[in-house]
Amino acid sequence: MKIKSVSFKKVFYEYFEPFTISLGTHEEQENIEVCVELEDGTQGWGEASALFVISGETPEMLHKMEVTVKDILIGKEIERYQDLFNMLQNLRATPAVKAAVEFALIDAFCKRFGIKPYQFFGGAKDRLETDKTVGIEDLKTTLTKVERIYKDGFKKIKIKVGRDVKTDIERVVRSKEVAPEASFVVDANQGFTPKEAVEFIQALHRESVSVDVFEQPVFRYDIEGLKFVRWNSPYPVAADESVFTKQDALRVIKEEAVDVINIKLMKSGLSDAMAIIHIAQAANIKLMIGCMGESSLGIRQSIHLAAGTGAFTYLDLDSHLSLKEEKFRGDFKQEGPFIILN
């Protein structure tokens, strides 16, 4: 079945509240919706969502890739998706577009054959539990937000850190008081030096904070620093910004620099995400799945991958919970932290 058309559309979302990480503050999100239509009218959908401070992509440049993607896809057989994936590897400057287009192709392929995408990926699970994230805030606001999330039923809470070691330690340690049964992911988004990172994480350990993962403590290119943190942290250390491609994944594994890799479709596309899953599993490295600013349409992509492969120990699929959407467009149910397919 041939691909008849491809269309890109810009969509604009506001955050319920401004969202701050060590790299900057976001108040709005502009995504690109991708629709791939087959000759029989079957449609596959994807969404590209990038954060400029993470990947250097802007919504404008992502939107401009429509022409290139049309050139690659139109008239091609959907059943030859691997060929199409190979050609889409050239979208190396715009991994968010690669992700959206690759998912839209698989979505169309699956619809054509009456398979659900998560079944195509292996059908391992049909229920997931995600964390929810608190940005960088002052102590009081941090505690208010952690408490609110905890009361909403989330037992896994992610706290953004990486601005100031002392304040960050206090923010996380004190969060225990308002969310006593929760476990935490702490995410520095590259904000610490290696020595600060170790000081920070060892302090949390002395205070018996339940930390699941310490994410991207140091500068993305400082693999040696990442390795230093890994072997001096009592908790698992994850690469996020350090790993976009499967080659990046292979490198941090070769260098024994991490315990966990955080896969995001928007960094890797579906093809490299699949590869990273396999590479990490071979190395006994645990996996996390995260997101950028995807709406319910875009987060669906990661939900199907995570449920189908069952490969992820840590789930951070909460972006859609922070955006004002006129209409919920996922094919899943959200019940507090639980995501239910089918």
What are the catalytic residues? Answer: 160, 264
Count the residues of the shown chain that bind a copy of itself, applying the rule CB under 8 A.
34
Nearest approach in angstroms of CB 167 to a copy of itself is 39
Under rule CB under 8 A, residue 247 binds a copy of itself = yes
Torsion region of 189: left, alpha or beta (phi above 0 gives left; psi -120 to 50 gives alpha): left
β strands within the chain, DSSP E: 3-21, 24-38, 43-48, 127-129, 132-134, 156-160, 183-187, 211-215, 237-239, 260-263, 286-289, 314-315, 332-335, 338-341
Pairing of strands 260-263, 286-289: parallel
Q: Verify binding: residue 72, a copy of itself, rule CB under 8 A.
A: no
Q: Which stretch binds a copy of itself (CB under 8 A): 191-199, 206-214, 217-225, 305-313?
A: 305-313
Query: Rule CB under 8 A: is residue 121 a binding residue for a copy of itself?
Result: yes
If the CB atoms of residues 204 and 253 are measured against a copy of itself, the closer one turns out to be 253
Cα–Cα dist 245/259, whole Å: 17
Q: DSSP string covering 8-60, please?
A: EEEEEEEEEEEEEETTEEEEEEEEEEEEEEETTS-EEEEEE---HHHH---HH
Q: Is 81 in the site for a copy of itself (CB under 8 A)?
A: yes
Task: Beginning with the edge strand found earlier in the chain, give each strand of the sheet holding 127-129 in spatial order.
Answer: 127-129, 338-341, 332-335
Residue 180 C-beta: closest distance to a copy of itself, Å: 34
Binding status of residue 79 toward a copy of itself by CB under 8 A: yes
Q: Work out whether 77 is an interface residue with a copy of itself (CB under 8 A).
A: yes
Question: Smaller CB distance to a copy of itself: residue 13 or 85?
Answer: 85
Q: How far is the CB of 109 from a copy of itself (least distance, A)?
A: 8
Does 2 contact a copy of itself by CB under 8 A?
Answer: no
Q: Which of 3, 159, 249, 288 binds a copy of itself (CB under 8 A)?
A: 249
**Secondary structure class of 264 (helix, strand, coil):** coil
Rank residues 35 and 87 by Cβ distance to a copy of itself and give the closer one. 87
CB neighbourhood size of 192 (10 A): 27
Q: How much is the CA Rg of the chain, to the nearest whole Å?
A: 19
Q: Which is nearer to a copy of itself, 149 or 249 (CB)?
A: 249
Binding site for a copy of itself (CB under 8 A): 77, 79-83, 85-86, 113-115, 119, 121-124, 245-247, 249-250, 253-254, 274-275, 277-279, 281-283, 308-310
